[in-house]
Amino acid sequence: MSKTLLSLGHGFSAQALADRLVPQGWRVIGTTRKPEKFAQLKAQGVEPLLWPCDLERPLSEATHLLTSAGPDAEGDPILRQAYAAIAKVAPKLEWVGYLSTTGVYGDHDGGWVDETSPTEPATVRGQRRVKSEKEWLNIPELPVHVFRLAGIYGPGRGPFAKLRKGVAQRVIKKNQIFSRTHVEDIAQVLEASINAPNPGRIYNVCDDDPQPPEVVLEYAAHLLGMEPPPAVPFEDADMSPMARSFYSDSKRVRNDRIKDELGVALKYPDFKSALHAMLEEETK
């Protein structure tokens, strides 16, 4: 039987999943707000839809649904426009994935969290995510799986690009620890869940090696043969409000569930292996 994935808010992570599914014969429909992306999506094997749009037809054709759109001040943009249409087809969908963030756990002063940890974010962004997760999980008969993603990086997105552009900052904040995930590992976790659905389940998606941000930047600079940027105290760093908000949370995220339940073997279990691979790929 043919499979159709409807990807709402088709971006970096969703395309990595599409790159795995399209060669297997899947049909992938992806929404975007940017008409200039249509040609690129088509070249990647994705049927583009300009958002906002009526989702009745694509939902009626979808067997699987992935939503990557983040909530705004008014709530989840997908549910705001298409709750009724999604609820209508809920019983026939085989799998639904909601891409969330590990930011829902809030600050743990560098301590460990897992999927059973309380969700008590201090940031408005994190609070919106918690609310959105619950809204998706509470849609009757919808087979929702929540994926809490750590900091995402991959080709064209990560410390190399910032170092080369001269915009990287080596921000120093005491006891600041982040977890990260390579986009290809996100894609393989999503595919593993599609192949072994467990509606209502929540999964952390991250590598095995939480590290302070300056450690990753210093290693990336070393691989490029560059001097790392000067150290800047967090209080003095020139950062957007969004970037600064990331530093309000410090934690290490456990990923046992994706391994034990989904059988995932991370392609990039630590940032060093990922950065080496990204650099090698650039030189091919």
* Beta-strand relationship, 202-205 and 4-8: unpaired
The class level of CATH for 4-152+182-206+254-267 reads alpha beta
Structure confidence at residue 243 as a pLDDT band (50, 70, 90): confident
User: 6 and 13 in contact (C-beta within 8 Å)?
Assistant: no
DSSP string, 143-191: -EEEEEE-EEEBTTBSHHHHHHHT---EEE-TT--B-EEEHHHHHHHHH
Task: Quote the DSSP letter at residue 280.
Answer: H
pTM over 0.85: yes
Residue 282 has pLDDT above 90, yes or no: no
Encode pLDDT of 81-129 as tens digits: 999 999 999 999 999 999 999 999 999 999 999 999 999 998 999 999 9
Encode pLDDT of 213-238 as tens digits: 999 999 999 999 999 999 999 999 99
Average pLDDT of the chain, as a whole number: 96
pLDDT value of residue 116: 98
Structure confidence at residue 249 as a pLDDT band (50, 70, 90): very high
Structure confidence at residue 1 as a pLDDT band (50, 70, 90): low
